[in-house]
Chain A
Amino acid sequence: MLLEARNLSKSFGGLNAVTDVSLTVREGQLVSIIGPNGAGKSTLFDLLTGHIRPDQGTVSFKGQDITHLKPYEISRLGLGRSFQKLNIFPRLTTFQNVQVALFSAEKLNHKLFAHAGRMVAEPVEEILKSVGLFGQADTLGGLLAHGDQKRLEIGIALALNPKLLLLDEPTQGMSPGETMETTDLIRSLVRARQISLAFVEHDMKVVFGISDWINVMHQGRLIFGGPPEEVKANEEVQRIYLGQGEN
């Protein structure tokens, strides 16, 4: 088991954001987490990556208990993530955004007198190519189009050579065309780099297009988990979630 969360609970001032959630991600598995707004999906991600501490429950990654590790320690173990809100380094160039993550991955960022310039250019450019941003290497991150910034986030996460990638709404705010492209991109990246994937997503096309396991959250609880066809067939899921929209 690559990632295993057991009985995670978190409340904020009386509001139960996440209640007794257990879930697993196996090696090579592509897992999605769906649910209406406020279902606790992002909070769950924050719990898994050490951004916030659970009130109860444990998280283990590659067999190691990571419940009480700090985010930077968890990242170093090979758990990368992207965020729902854009989370890049706006006043660094696209190149530097990925470069600084690679410095960290290769333990170069304590070097005081080496000239950063084009250091580790090769792997940076390879990552930029793989997320389709090579042509914009010298553009400031903050000046990229929204969809490109989302892809840059994935690029930053890839620089750490993660075993498991947690993506929080990777296609949020994208046009249908961009969403398609990004879906393809994620699918091919994950396959090429043999990364396991857990992602939160609202777009059902993306969810059913990528996942081989879908977890459904509602009001902080995990109400169902199964392969896509079972999720589609499940009545409770249809009632509380799928039935709400046109999907």
Chain B
Amino acid sequence: MAQDRSFSSFLGIGLPAALIMVGLLAALIGLPLYVGQSWVSITTEMLIMSLAACALNIMLGYTGLVSFGPAGLYAVGAYTTAIFLQKLGLSIAPSMLAAPVLAGLIGAIVGWICVRRTAVYFALLTLAFSQIIWTVIFEWYAVTGGDDGLTSLPIPDFFFNISNCYYFTLFVVGVCTFIIWKIINSPFGQTLKAIRENRNRVEFIGVNTKRYQLGAFVLSSLFLGISGSLYCVFSGSVFPNFAYWVKSADMLVICLLGGVYNFSGPLVGTLIYTLLTKIIADYTTHWHLFLGGIIIFIILVMRNGVVGTLADLWARKKQKQL
């Protein structure tokens, strides 16, 4: 095989995509220089959410496993960091590193059970487990602070500067997204896609599908944990609603909006979802109603999400030119 060492082939993407990526990265790095603090803060939130959505999409878009419970594992990450900081008095580094470890472990246990069932049964099991996590957080007052959550966490001063927090988040999300990208485009990722396409057929090419589905589940949990941990550091507090099913629904909607079959789908989905929420909320208190309407419209008209639909149009246009 010829070894092409250019940047775009290193990433396994075409030149236009590589240029867009470099441009985007440059824009994100420069962001605090040309927008106000509130937008830096919103962008930080978006980065964290997009990592969560990307993590969910390992299962949803690439393995064909519809999980209704990503928020549970996101909350495990957030609470791990919070509890390690406040209750165990550990410093920030171990507190953050513990988040993906614990989320991955719990994800492994939950996943091991969930992959025994398929389709709607799988979805309901994931929902049930995330509600169990929510209940544990809600009830276990001594450790989790129950309904009140954990606030005034001893976050290092460094993160109170929003630019610092932003750059830290950008770095972690960037690295994680790159790792997810590598995984999706590996032989492992290809096997996941084959499972999504035709689970039965994959059994007949000698693949233990349950093991790979579990692998996807654990990886997804791990990155959800990181994303939860980032949010904990960003906001300085954690609340039970991090684990609530509404949060899971947000993540699912984001993936569907952007498009689950495209890597950038969850990223674009986050952007659209967050901006819509903010913009509509400026005009009306009934923003949920309008947001719901817009989501229904996009999902009906653009079945593969915004990115998927645009990619299809682009492909068709190119074909016409040939």
| Residues of chain A within 8 A of B186, CB atoms compared | 111-116
Which residues of the partner chain B approach A90 to less than 8 Å between Cβ atoms? 197-198
A164 contact set on B, CB distance < 8 A: none
From 136 to 191 in chain A, residues with beta carbon under 8 angstroms from any chain B beta carbon are 156-157, 159-160
Contacts of B212 in A (CB 8 A): 109
Provide the bound-state CA to CA distance between A88 and B197, in Å.
Answer: 8
Interface membership of A96, Cβ < 8 A: yes
The reply to whether B205 and A75 form a contact with Cβ atoms under 8 Å apart is: yes
Q: Is B185 an interface residue (CB 8 A)?
A: yes
Give chain B residues whose Cβ lies under 8 Å from the Cβ of A83: 201
B198 touches A109 (CB 8 A): no
Q: Is the CB of A110 within 8 A of B198?
A: no
The reply to whether A92 and B183 form a contact with Cβ atoms under 8 Å apart is no
Evaluate contact between A108 and B203: CB separation under 8 angstroms: no
Chain A residues near B194: list those with CB within 8 A: 89, 92, 100
Tell yes or no: B182 within 8 A of A by CB: yes
- Nearest CB on B from A32, distance (A): 20
Q: How large is the interface on B (under 10, 10 to 19, 20 to 34, 35 or more residues)?
A: 20 to 34
With A87-B198, A91-B197 as given contacts, are A100 and B205 in contact (CB-CB < 8 Å)?
A: yes
Total residue contacts A-B, CB cutoff 8 A: 108
Give the A interface residue count (CB, 8 A).
41
- Tell me whether B1 and A121 are in contact (CB under 8 A): yes
At the interface, yes or no: A71 with Cβ under 8 Å from chain B?
A: yes
A166 → chain B, closest Cβ, in Å? Answer: 10
A19 within 8 A of B: no
B208: CB under 8 A from chain A?
A: yes
The residue on A at minimum CB distance from B183 is A112
Task: Determine whether A80 belongs to the interface, using a CB cutoff of 8 Å to chain B.
Answer: yes
Known: A112-B188, A117-B185, A118-B1. A89 touches B193 (CB 8 A): yes
Does B191 count as interface, using CB distance less than 8 angstroms? Answer: yes
Q: List 24 A-B contacts (CB under 8 A).
A: A72-B207, A73-B206, A75-B205, A87-B198, A87-B200, A89-B198, A91-B197, A100-B187, A100-B191, A100-B193, A100-B194, A100-B205, A103-B191, A104-B191, A104-B207, A110-B187, A114-B186, A114-B187, A115-B186, A116-B185, A116-B189, A156-B201, A156-B205, A157-B204
20 additional contacts, CB 8 Å, given A111-B187, A112-B183, A160-B205? A75-B205, A81-B204, A83-B201, A87-B198, A88-B197, A89-B201, A90-B197, A91-B261, A100-B187, A100-B190, A100-B202, A104-B206, A104-B207, A109-B212, A110-B188, A111-B188, A115-B182, A116-B189, A116-B190, A119-B187
Residues of A whose CB lies within 8 Å of any CB of B are: 49, 51, 70-73, 75-76, 80-81, 83, 87-92, 96, 99-101, 103-105, 108-119, 121, 156-157, 159-160
Chain B residues packing against A (C-beta within 8 Å): 1, 12, 182-183, 185-191, 193-194, 196-198, 200-209, 212, 261
